[in-house]
């Protein structure tokens, strides 16, 4: 399956009074459109893990995620398309009508429930050692796909972004595990800075995690970068009615569909920063739409255009 043959990275100019008032040129990088099911940043993070498994004749991949995980959803589809078996270790219990996991199962992924206590051990060396012993012929991919090879793939995404949006003063992206941000800053060439907006509460630790990811991958930041820690709006996957109202307004104004956990929080925080005068007048800025629209189903929201490509 040649996913890249289907990729189309488009930019959408964002016309808003708020941006004009602050003399900002703002555009949206539509990475959500690169593939109907492996959208946004997901294929770029998974690409070299999966291709590496094939090259090494490893026939199975194992990874972690929540019940509506974009990573699990994308991994199940991509692994199946590439002829690999997959196992998803899912945090907590889930209902049988969970559409994300129904999709994953339909693509051949074996689903195993971990208690929340077990799931918290996902980075523990002994836990990983025991897991590898349980699946001796498998490649274990960390939660969110954030490993050394993920940075290489996301650096390629940054190259595609800079082909479409040259000379950016700032690229703004949502952060979960930090792998995407690390890859973006490693791949920067013409972009002056990258602003990461973590969607989980108390995410200051991501500064060290991103530095560690770069170090382990033998890569360096090629532009300035920083994190803004005020865009979680209650914590990871915490979505209040007020937030859904903000998201709906953005969607209507800009004719785009967002996911409430990542892109909607990132964009909401961006607008707050613009209002506060955070960005210098005349700046050229891009927001990264990192996909994840299938996760809307966890909040009872419509997902238009979700299809088996």
Amino acid 6: pLDDT: 57
Residues 248 and 228 in one domain: yes
How confident is the model over 35-70, as pLDDT tens digits?
888 888 999 999 999 999 999 999 999 999 999 999
Residues 171 and 120 in one domain: no
Residues 193 and 230 in one domain: yes
Reported in sequence order, the residue ranges of the chain that DSSP labels E, i.e. its strands, are: 10-13, 25-30, 60-65, 85-91, 109-114, 138-140, 170-175, 193-198, 224-227, 284-289
Tokens matching residue 118: 């077990």
Amino acid 305: pLDDT: 53
Q: Is residue 137 part of a domain?
A: yes
Give the contacts of 278 (CB within 8 A, at least 6 positions apart).
none
Amino acid 85: pLDDT: 98
Amino acid 304: pLDDT: 63
Amino acid 306: pLDDT: 58
Q: Is residue 309 part of a domain?
A: no
**What residues make up the domain containing 71?**
42-145
Residues 104 and 220 in one domain: no
CA dist 197 to 117, 159, 232, Å? 27, 21, 8
Widest CA span of the chain, in angstroms?
Answer: 59
Residues 66 and 133 in one domain: yes
Residues 163 and 60 in one domain: no
Which residues, listed in sequence order, are joined to residue 224 by a DSSP beta bridge?
193
How confident is the model over 81-101, as pLDDT tens digits?
999 999 999 999 999 889 999
Amino acid 309: pLDDT: 41
Amino acid 308: pLDDT: 44
Residues 191 and 294 in one domain: yes
Q: Which of 103, 124, 145 is the last residue of a domain?
A: 145
Q: Which of 145, 162, 186 is the last residue of a domain?
A: 145
Amino acid 36: pLDDT: 81
Q: Is residue 68 part of a domain?
A: yes
Residues 106 and 65 in one domain: yes
Domains held by the chain: number: 2
Cβ contact 10:31 at 8 Å: no
Which residues in the chain show pLDDT less than 70?
A: 1-8, 304-309
Amino acid 5: pLDDT: 57
Amino acid 302: pLDDT: 79
Amino acid 298: pLDDT: 84
């Amino acid at each position: 399956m040649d996913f890249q043959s289907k990729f189309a990275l488009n930019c959408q100019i964002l016309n808003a009074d708020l941006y004009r008032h602050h003399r900002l040129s703002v555009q949206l990088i539509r990475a959500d459109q690169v593939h109907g099911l492996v959208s946004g940043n997901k294929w770029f993070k998974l690409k070299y893990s999966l291709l590496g498994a094939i090259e090494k004749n490893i026939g199975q991949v194992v990874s972690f995620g929540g019940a509506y995980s974009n990573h699990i959803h994308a991994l199940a589809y991509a692994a199946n398309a590439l002829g690999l078996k997959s196992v998803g270790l899912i945090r907590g219990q889930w209902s049988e009508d969970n559409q994300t996991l129904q999709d994953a199962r339909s693509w051949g992924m074996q689903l195993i429930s971990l208690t929340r206590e077990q799931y918290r051990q996902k980075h523990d060396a002994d836990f990983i050692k025991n897991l590898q012993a349980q699946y001796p012929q498998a490649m274990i991919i960390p939660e969110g796909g954030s490993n050394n090879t993920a940075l290489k793939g996301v650096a390629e995404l940054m190259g595609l972004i800079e082909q479409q949006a040259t000379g950016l003063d700032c690229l703004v992206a949502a952060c979960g595990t930090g792998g995407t941000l690390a890859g973006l800053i490693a791949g920067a060439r013409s972009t002056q800075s990258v602003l990461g907006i973590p969607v989980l509460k108390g995410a200051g630790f991501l500064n060290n995690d991103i530095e560690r990811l770069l170090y382990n991958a033998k890569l360096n930041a090629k532009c300035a970068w920083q994190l803004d820690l005020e865009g979680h709006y209650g914590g990871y996957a915490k979505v209040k009615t007020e937030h859904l109202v903000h998201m709906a307004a953005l969607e209507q104004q800009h004719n785009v569909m967002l996911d409430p956990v990542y892109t909607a929080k990132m964009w909401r925080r961006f607008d707050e920063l613009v209002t506060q005068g955070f960005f210098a007048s005349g700046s050229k800025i891009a927001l990264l739409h990192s996909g994840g629209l299938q996760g809307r189903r966890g909040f009872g929201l419509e997902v238009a255009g979700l299809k088996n490509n």
